Amino acid sequence: MHTADLLVVKIGGSLFSDKRLDRHLDPAAVRRYARIAAALHRAAPGRVVLVSGGGAYGHGAVRGLDPSEPFAALALTGANAELRWAWTVALREAGVAAFPVQFAAAAVLGPEGDARLSGEAVARLLAAGVLPVLSGDCLPDRSGRLHVVGSDLVPGALAALAPGATRIVMLTDVDGVMDGETVIPRLTPDGADAGLRALWEAPRWDTTGGMAGKLTAALEHSRKGAECVILHGARIGADPTFLLAPFEEWPRGVPRTVVAAQPPVSKTAG
């Protein structure tokens, strides 16, 4: 099979919880997407990482933070630990070895505030054939103040794990970046104005900026060489392994927005 060197699957919180609530979870949806991640892991062991959106857990933990309190974001670590464990249990029930990784234990903030992997924890899990499960977290700067790093930003740090092509699949509850009723098929870091203009304002309960935050993160990942795909999670059928394949091999009728600086991943040896 032709694949990217690394596939990061980010499952948006809206697909498995009601983000307007605190700690709401749809167990059936978690099991469905866990089966999808498990199938991808079996198809490309050692090349797949799962990143969970915060959903009601993450958004609930960071709403109304006191900016004068350096440790205010600490609640996010506890909330998302519960969420990662729910995914880990569902993945093990789906038949794969999965391990929840706290992002703050595997990454640090760079001098410009960007998250960077530190150490070999995630790479070692992949090498052992284990599916890592990550989420957003809060990371300390050099002064000890905690900064929220949302789940849309986590894949950018993970791209450092792959020596070649990284594909970041962002599953959400819409078909991609929409311009009215039309999906914008492709955006590049230097040509994203149309996509950004088309975005709507995120609701107040969404602490990550909705699609605008997702697209901004995807554009940043693409500047670093990753290929990002934004698509509706409901479009994933019984066989999700097409997510590993070149786009010309994808099933028809799967709309998406590709965000990449270079042409999409094609016939890369897998």
DSSP string, 144-199: S-EEEE-TTTHHHHHGGG-SS-EEEEEEESSSSSEETTEE--EE-TTS-HHHHHHP
Confidence check: pLDDT of 98 > 50:
yes
- Mean pLDDT of the region 149-166: 91
* Token representation of residue 53: 């959106």
Q: What is the mean pLDDT of the chain?
A: 88
Does the pLDDT of residue 270 top 60, yes or no?
Answer: no
pLDDT of the residue at 62: 82
Say yes or no to pLDDT of 217 above 50.
yes
Phi then psi dihedrals of residue 185, to 5 deg: -75, -30
More confident residue, 20 or 153: 153
The pLDDT of residue 8 is 98
Query: What sign for the dihedral angle of Cα 188, 158, 201, 141?
Result: negative
Q: Average pLDDT of 12-17?
A: 95
Q: Average the pLDDT over 72-89 and give the result.
A: 95
Asked if residue 183 has pLDDT above 70, the reply is yes
Instruction: Say what the pTM is.
Output: 0.90
- Strands 131-135 and 98-100 turn out to be parallel
Confidence label for 53 from pLDDT (cuts 50, 70 and 90): very high
Would you place residue 112 in the very low, low, confident or very high pLDDT band (cuts 50, 70, 90)? confident
Mean pLDDT (whole number) for 224-232: 94
Return the exposure string of 161-194: e unless at least 16 CB atoms fall within 10 Å of the residue's CB, then b: bbeebbbbbbbbebbbbbeeeebbeebeeeebee
| 94 against 18, higher pLDDT | 94
Q: Is the pLDDT of residue 264 over 80?
A: no
Which CATH number is associated with domain 6-259? 3.40.1160.10
Query: What is the pLDDT confidence band of residue 194, given thresholds at 50, 70 and 90?
Result: low
Predicted confidence at residue 181, as pLDDT, reads 87
Question: For position 262, what pLDDT does the model report?
Answer: 63
pLDDT of residue 266 exceeding 50? no
**At residue 129, does pLDDT exceed 80?**
yes
